[in-house]
């Protein structure tokens, strides 16, 4: 990677078949030279290539085979993996926890520059809004798994950014969100498309390095927001990609 503040040559997306992961894959595809996506099912290969993936790696983060090989030469790893609602109370291990810890360890072992992790509001020990109590009641085991993954990422020798969004929606991207430090007690909703934009920009935004953020869009909390100049990656040739709000 020749310019860590604006460019990524190779990116790796775990969870690319989920709604946030798909939006992230589409956003990164024209901005990196090589985009690798991870899926557990080879049947997803065609759809991921259609989204813009250059390579599709088939593996399971809970039982990996060759993950470090897939990460060799990767600049940034993005994780949007998550447990299906129907599996939350089925018992672990959860990909949100053990799977992400495995991914972080592999990234560290292969000298990946940056890991960007999608977590959730209410994860961690900071003061939280009532929404965190709702999340804890609904998906408590997964929240605990996400906390373990966050801790592993902070302990790893790798640049990182962690985003904790509120209730995710399928609404169009707005580029108008409140991003705050942990403990800001945000609550509300945010579109997966807006989260995807922040995930993509986190790897090339200097002010996002080694930080954790809470994220919502509705309602907004401008008085709690932090001032971050989010910078989406530029093409490997240094040119920008027109931003389309979708």
User: What are the boundaries of each domain within the chain?
Assistant: 8-224
Each residue of 75-84: pLDDT tens digit? 999 999 999 8
Q: How far is CA 27 from the centre of its chain?
A: 13
**Per 3-state DSSP, what percentage of the chain is helix, strand, and coil (rounded to 5)?**
35, 20, 40
Q: Quick one: what percent of the chain has pLDDT higher than 70?
A: 95
pTM: 0.94
What is the mean predicted confidence (pLDDT) over 38-60? 96
CB neighbours of 144 closer than 8 A, spacing ≥ 6?
97
Model confidence band, residue 1 (pLDDT cutoffs 50, 70, 90): very low
Q: How far is CA 155 from the centre of its chain?
A: 18
Give the integer Cα–Cα distance in Å for 209 and 27. Answer: 20
Place of tokens 């961690």: 124
Q: Quick one: what percent of the chain has pLDDT higher than 90?
A: 88
Higher pLDDT, 219 or 7: 219
Higher pLDDT, 241 or 24: 24
> Which pLDDT score is estimated for 240?
75
Contact by Cβ (8 Å): 170, 192: yes
CB neighbours of 54 closer than 8 A, spacing ≥ 6?
34, 35, 36
What is the mean predicted confidence (pLDDT) over 181-209? 97
> Which pLDDT score is estimated for 90?
81
* Surface-to-core class of residue 134, CB atoms within 10 Å of its CB (0-12 exposed, 13-18 middle, 19+ buried): middle
Give the integer Cα–Cα distance in Å for 168 and 119. Answer: 11
> Which pLDDT score is estimated for 241?
67
Give the integer Cα–Cα distance in Å for 37 and 45. Answer: 9
> Which pLDDT score is estimated for 246?
40
Each residue of 128-181: pLDDT tens digit? 999 999 999 999 999 999 999 999 999 999 999 999 999 999 999 999 999 999
Place of tokens 């907004």: 220
Give the integer Cα–Cα distance in Å for 173 and 164. Answer: 17
- What integer best gives the mean pLDDT of the chain? 93
Q: Is the pLDDT of residue 5 over 60?
A: no
Tokens of 66: 């060759």
CATH number of 8-224: 3.40.50.720
> Which pLDDT score is estimated for 4?
45
Give the integer Cα–Cα distance in Å for 128 and 106. Answer: 31
């Amino acid at each position: 990677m020749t310019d860590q503040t604006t460019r990524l040559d190779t990116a790796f997306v775990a969870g690319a078949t989920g709604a946030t992961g798909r939006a992230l894959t589409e956003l990164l595809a024209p901005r990196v030279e090589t985009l690798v996506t991870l899926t557990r099912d080879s049947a997803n290969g065609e759809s991921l290539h259609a989204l813009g993936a250059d390579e599709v790696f088939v593996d399971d983060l809970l039982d990996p085979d060759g993950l470090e090989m897939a990460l060799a030469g990767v600049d940034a790893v993005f994780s949007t993996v998550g447990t299906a609602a129907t599996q939350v109370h089925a018992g672990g291990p959860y990909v949100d926890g053990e799977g992400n810890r495995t991914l972080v360890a592999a990234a560290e072992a292969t000298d990946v520059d940056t890991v960007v992790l999608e977590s959730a509001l209410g994860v961690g020990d900071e003061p939280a809004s009532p929404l965190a109590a709702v999340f804890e009641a609904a998906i408590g085991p997964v929240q605990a798994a996400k906390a373990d993954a966050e801790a592993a990422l902070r302990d790893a020798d790798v640049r990182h950014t962690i985003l904790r969004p509120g209730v995710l929606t399928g609404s169009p991207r707005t580029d108008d969100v409140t991003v705050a430090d942990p403990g800001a007690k945000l609550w509300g909703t945010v579109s997966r498309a807006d989260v995807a934009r922040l995930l993509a920009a986190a790897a090339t935004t200097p002010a996002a390095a080694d930080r954790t953020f809470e994220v919502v869009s509705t309602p907004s909390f401008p008085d709690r927001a932090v001032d971050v100049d989010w910078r989406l990656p530029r093409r490997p040739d240094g040119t920008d990609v027109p931003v389309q709000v979708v």
